[in-house]
Every structure is written in C-alpha cells, then in structure tokens.
Chains A and B, each alone.
Chain A
Amino acid sequence: MSDLVRILDGNSFVVTDRRGDFSASPTFPTGLFSWDTRFLSKWRLTINGRSLYSLSLDDLQYYQARFFLAPASATHDFDSTMSIIRQQTINDEFEDQLTIISHGDEPVDLVVRLDVASDFADIFEIRHQTKKKGGYTSRIENGSLFLGYQREDFHREVMISCDLGSEIDPGNCRSEVDLDGLTATGRLEPKKMWVLKLRAAMLGPGRRTVRASLGGTPRRRPSLAEDLELWFDNAPRLETDHESLAGTYRRSIADLAALRYTPLVSAGLSVPAAGLPWFMTIFGRDSIITSFQALPFAPQLAAATIYTLSIPQGSRLDDFRDEEPGKVLHEFRYGESAAFEEQPHTPYYGSADATPLYVVLMDEYERWTGDAAMVHRFEREARAALDWIDTYGDAMGNGYIWYQRRSAPRGLQNQCWKDSDDGICYRDGRLPGFPRATCELQGYAYDAKIRGARLAREFWGDPAYAERLEREAADLKQRFNRDFWIERHGYYALALDTNGDQVDALASNIGHLLWSGIVDESRADQVARHLMSPELFSGWGVRTLATDQARYNPIGYHIGTVWPFDNSLIAWGLRRYGFDRESARIAIAVIEAAGYFAGRLPEAFGGYERDLTRYPVEYPTACSPQAWSAGATLLLLRAMLGLEPVGDQLVSRPSLPDGFDRLVLRNVPGRWGRKDVSA
C-alpha cells in the first residue's frame, strides 16, 4: 500500500499511484471519493500516447501532492526531452495541474489525453461488492464532461473540465471532450512550458455540491494553506533530541489536521474523522478517544466532538440502527447504501463504549480547559448517557454494560473497539454467546460515574445525584473485582458471558482498566506484570491478544496485532497506578515503531516478536492515516511528561524512557493559558 499516494480534505479524498493516476481496484479503494461515494474510478494521463514515468514525488501537504514525471520511452525508461510537474489538490473539487516543460531545441506537438470513468461505488460496496441498482449517465455540455449516477432521487455527478491556461497562444492549443475523457492538444515551443488544469467537481442533485444539496451551509474557512499554518501555530511546540519522536510528533499533528472533518451540523467546528480510506466520517468511539488524546494539544477537537455527537444522540428504540435513548452514535454515512437502508448508518448506534466515554471526555475537557459553559450546555446529554448505562446498556439487568445486536445481519456482533467477529474469545478459542459484557466497558462505566459525579456536584448543583453516582461506582468496582478477576491467572477476564461465566482470554483490554481506575490497588501489580509479559508485550507494544491464547495470530485484526491507540491508553493507565517505568517502556516502543512508518503510526501492526522481525510489520489493510493512531503519539507524550491539570495549574511529573536527555513542550494550552513543560 505504500506505493499509493493519498490526499484528503474532510470526507473527500483521492488515492492514486505514484504517477497521480488511478484505476479502480476491486479490493482497495483507489479513486476520488467524497461523501462516502467514489466519484471517479479512473483517471489516467498519457502524453503523445505514452504513459508517464515517475521520477519523484512530494507529499506537500495533506491536501496536495506533487509528482515529477516524464513520458515513458519505448524501453520503459524515460524520455528526457520533456518533464511534467503534476500537482494535485483536493478541496471542494479535485484539481490536477500539469506543468509541461520542454527541454528540446525543436517545437513539439503535444497530445495530452485524460481517460476517465466512474462506477459511483458506495464505500461499502468496495468492501462488500454488490450490483448497482441505479443507472449511469454521461453527456457533454459546454465543453465539460458530466458522468452521473441516479437511483430514484439520489443523484451523484462528476463534472470534468480542462483549463488550457495562457502560456500557449490560444491559436495553437485546444481541448476536446468525449464520453471517455478529454484531449488537449498544443504546440510547445523549445524551452517553454505549458500549464493546464484538469478539474473534477463532485456534485449532488441540482448541480450543487453534495453539502449544499443536503441543505448544509458552505464551510467558512481560510484557505487550506492558511488554515494549516494556524493549526501548527496553535499546537504546542516540541523540543527533543530524539529524532523519531520529533518527526512522529510533527506527522501526528499534521495528520490530525488532515483528518478534521466538518459535519453538516457542527456550528462550523471540525471533529476528527476516524481514518483513511475506510472511515472518513464521524465515529463516536474514534472521535471521542482521539479528542481525549489530543486534549493537551488541540482541545477544540473535544468541544467539537461533544457538540457534534449531541444532536444525533439516541432518542428512541430502533432495531435496524441498534438505537436506544441516550446512546451515542457509532457511525454516520451519507452514501447510497445508507440512504436506501441497505446499511444501518443513518446513524448506526452499535457501540457500547461511546456512551460512557462521552461523559469521560466531557469531564476531562473541563478539567483541561475550564470551559464550564460546555458542561452546563450539555448537561442533558451527559445525564442521558449516564442513564443509558444503567438502563438500555444493562441488557441483563445485573449492573454491567452488555451488548447484543438487534440489527441483523448488518449490525456489528461485537460492539466494543475489538469489533471483528472473533475479537472476543475464550483462552481455548471458543466464542461466547450473546449478550457479552467486555471488561473495559465496565471500566468506562465506572469512570463515567465518577466523573459524572464531579460534574453534578460542581456544575449542575445536584449533590444528591453526585452521591448516587459515587455509590453506584463504588458498588460497580466491588462487583467487578469479584466477578471479573480470575484468581488462578491473576488477571481480569476479557468478558462475562451470558451465564455470568468468565471469558478467560488474556487480552490488552486489561490495560484500559488501569486507565479507568476500576482496578483494585492490590491487583494493579499483577495486571502490569501481565501487560509487560512476553506473551503480551512484543517489544513494539502490547498485543491485542496474548501469544499463548488459542486464537492468537500476529496478523489477526484484534487477536494479536499491536494497536498504537490501545497502547497509548495502557501507558496512561500504567502511570495512573504508578508504573512509570513500564509506561515509559511502552511509550518508547511505539515511538520507535513509528520511525519505521515515517512517523505515521498505522491503525495496527503485526504482533511479531521484535527480536524476530527487527521492524514492525504493517497490518495488510490498515488505515493510514488513522486519527487515534496519530492521537496515540500525543497521549504517549502526556504519559512521558506526566501532565495533569490540578486545579487551575498544569502539573508535570516526567518519567522519561532511557535514551531521552531532553523533552520540552512549549505552549501547552489549558485553563492556565499557555505553559511550557520540560523534563
């Protein structure tokens, strides 16, 4: 996948080969995408009948790439009489700017040919191929090519056009459009250049942008370049001699900028979309965790996430969407399959963790920023989320969060972050029945109650509610430590099954329990030892599942791979319980792994032993960039520096891994204004 080039802006993105071309792949999404629909599946450039040879490539900004090309010669080498600089930009439309430079002594006649096609595939159809139910159109109008797809009143269209520029005398160049693309011809004089622009505009019904056709107001924002500069200016500045960390930090901040997505309803604020290419939309869990990780760096993401998730918060029972009152959404999509109810994402509510985590984020946001107004404004949502934990969330009526999908067959079997079908298993490999209560969900519920109590007491003027929540939290912690603890193994069960029996696999989930604070002090040492054991710790991080479990597979999505975001929460949890050295060991392992991915942590990498492979093996279809992987760098930094807001002050209690001489973070934003911290 590393030979693909990706640029993105909001939920629009382009995936090309190293020449800037794409031709649809049945399994991996290359093409031009927007609003969960592929608007172009083919975009292929030739010059005088020859395809182009890639000399080099600049990944300029997240929304722009520049390719240095030359026409390929008959011997598959390149023709040195001409070079082409191809600059592609994704914004409200896709622009492909060609600068053709002649190096020869003779004039040259050029035929620039662009072949295009679109299958208008829904992002879900690429993953699960289905036959299109609507019809295709193509026509030429006013010198532009329109390719369209219509199913009832659902309409998507792409307009392809060419701007010949002014470098060549208009008498010496022209462009012509046909149903398969366009051809520009011109005579280029010696040592001259020709700049022409090829454009594709993504449209909804009525020839308006999809955003406008859904009634959305245009995004008001400065140019992407100014916006990115501002984003970097506002982020804290990291000073370190550790090269891998410096590069990874910069990349993470840039990737979080890239993955910002402005939903139709968000008061113009941007939330983190989950990841390219499969998850360019709002996800409850991913957006919340990324916002949490980014709090000391970009707290505005949390404010946007709290607001954006408030409006679609569950308000009724709906089996198809796994919706319940108070539940925070899992995923929202705008594509054809969602619109026609072939997928339940309008929105889909199949996650049991986003709801308690919503309360966790709101509390942590206030602790960092002092923005009490937000806590007042979203009191209803927080209370509804807390209510959900004890009502619809507790399907068995015994004081734990359980999940079981009602949306069959499209809904998710596992409604925790390990949401692949085999993500939750017993040691011997069996899969439990439903409903299931995974351990980290109970930790999140505990944390949500403790934090909800603080909000109720300090902001909502409801001490009785605060006391109730604290009582419930204490009771939950006690029961949890009784029911989930496996005495003979010395760790917490991955889940409880329907009979109340322990699902006894050793998995990374126990690390989240440290983050949430539900672990009895007396047991934290055993949990930490398991996390750092050779069975769980690969040398690059903590595996999702221990190597001695029956289903362990180093490239199993949730049963053996190492997830950077998972490790960041574990490292932070270890610090909470005083395991500073263990936390630092995880932090440095993940940051060293990032060095092998040019600072861009993928969604997951293989669980192979570090001594065996010497480098982290990328998981085959991992998303990259991925918001909570970029966010992992930030939470690991927080863990190394031991950053905590205490009252109105920022307190730092550093614990650096070996090999770090200096770590300074300047301009950390928060209720204290801006503050520098150093170790």
Chain B
Amino acid sequence: MSASIEEFLGELADCPYLQRLARVDGTVRLDLTEDGQIHHWHITITSGKITLSRENRPADCVLHGDKALLDAAARGERNLTTAWLTRNLVLEGRVELFRLLERLFPGPPAARNPRDLVLPPPGGQS
C-alpha cells in the first residue's frame, strides 16, 4: 500500500499495462493544496499506460482538493467518490477519466474477503 499520492502515482506509472484504463485516452491534472501551496500532477493516459509530469498544463479533467485527502485515498482511508459528491474534491472536465482513475485506488485496509466471514483465513492472512 502506498503512503502518499506521489508514491501511489509512481507505482501506477511503473505498471506496464493498466487494463482498466485500456479503453480511454486522455489527461488528468491533480491540483493539490498543501500549506497554502498548490502541487500539480499531470497524468497522461495512453493505451493503458500512464505517464506523469509535475507541469501545470491543461488537461481533459482537472481535480482540485487537499493533498491530505489524496494521500489518505492512496492509503485506502478515504473514498474519492464521496469526496467528489461532498465537493472535498472538485472536478472540472471529463468525469469518465476521474471515475476510471478512482477505481485504481485501494479499498479500506481493514476490508474483508467474503470468505473471511465463513472460513478460517488461510495462514491467518486475509
């Protein structure tokens, strides 16, 4: 599990192929606020692969939010869909790109497999 949004994005960029993004090309920019400063992450999605830059360039979808929110999301502690609905995360542009990217974030760390409820977990691990 990633500790921060930069680590999470770095891991995504290292993936040779993200099947979930295979159907859509586009660009997403994260404008993340921390201590009164805005950090930019520019994400280009092409044929299931993402490339990153720190440039403040135009994008098809721009997300504005606190860096702490995205860090928490990278750890599975915050849900970005509800952050979007409550406007903790403000979106401009193509919603589809956000919804696809959101799917790549991890679930809550304590989440269980349905089998954990009925079977003893193999080797004590879920």
Contacts and interface: CB of A to CB of B under 8 A. Distances in A.
Interface of A: 152-155, 205, 213-217, 264-265, 267, 311-313, 315-320, 323-324, 334, 338-341, 346-347, 377, 380, 392-393, 395-397, 402, 404, 406, 435, 498
Contact of A323 (B22, B84, B91, B107): B107
Contacts of B84: 214
B86 A340 contact: yes
Contact of A214 (B23, B85, B106, B119): B85
Most buried by B among A319, A324, A377, A404: A319
B93 A397 contact: no
Nearest to B119: A397
A264 B104 contact: no
Contacts of B96: 265, 267, 311
A319 B108 contact: yes
B90 to A, nearest CB: 8
Contact of B20 (A214, A315, A395, A402): A315
Contact of A339 (B85, B91, B94, B104): B85
Contacts of B108: 317-320
B85 A154 contact: yes
Interface of B: 19-20, 22-23, 61, 76, 79, 81-82, 84-88, 91-96, 98-100, 103-108, 110-115, 117-119
A397 B115 contact: yes
Contact of B103 (A213, A315, A341, A377): A315
Nearest to A395: B114
A618 B110 CA distance: 45
Contact of B95 (A265, A319, A402, A498): A265
Contacts of B104: 315
A339 B95 CA distance: 17
B112 A319 contact: yes
A240 to B, nearest CB: 43
Given A215-B93, A346-B81, A380-B19, A396 B87 contact: no
Contacts of A396: 115, 118-119
Nearest to B80: A346
B115 A338 contact: no
A213 B86 CA distance: 11
A320 B81 CA distance: 13
A406 B87 contact: no
27 contacts: A152-B86, A154-B85, A205-B87, A214-B91, A214-B95, A215-B98, A217-B95, A265-B95, A315-B103, A317-B111, A317-B113, A318-B107, A319-B111, A334-B85, A339-B86, A346-B79, A377-B23, A380-B19, A380-B22, A392-B114, A392-B115, A395-B118, A397-B115, A402-B114, A402-B118, A404-B117, A435-B117
Contacts, number: 109
B118 A317 contact: no
Contacts of A395: 114-115, 117-119
Given A334-B85, A341-B82, A346-B79, A316 B115 contact: no
A153 B88 contact: yes
Contacts of B103: 311-313, 315
Nearest to A392: B114
A319 B85 CA distance: 20
Given A153-B88, A404-B117, A435-B117, A316 B111 contact: yes
Most buried by A among B84, B111, B112: B111
A406 B85 contact: no
Contact of A406 (B20, B81, B95, B117): B117
A217 B93 CA distance: 8
A317 B107 contact: yes
B107 A341 contact: no
B86 A324 contact: no
Given A153-B88, A264-B95, A380 B82 contact: no
Nearest to B117: A404
Contacts of B94: 215, 217
Given A312-B99, A315-B20, A380-B22, A406 B114 contact: yes
A154 B114 contact: no
B31 to A, nearest CB: 14
A346 B22 CA distance: 23
- The list of the 9 closest CB pairs from A to B, nearest first, reads A316-B107, A339-B85, A215-B91, A153-B87, A317-B111, A395-B114, A318-B107, A315-B103, A346-B81
Contacts of A312: 99, 103
Nearest to A338: B85
A575 to B, nearest CB: 35
Contacts of A334: 85
A153 B86 contact: yes
B98 to A, nearest CB: 7
A341 B115 contact: no
Given A380-B19, A498-B118, A311 B99 contact: yes
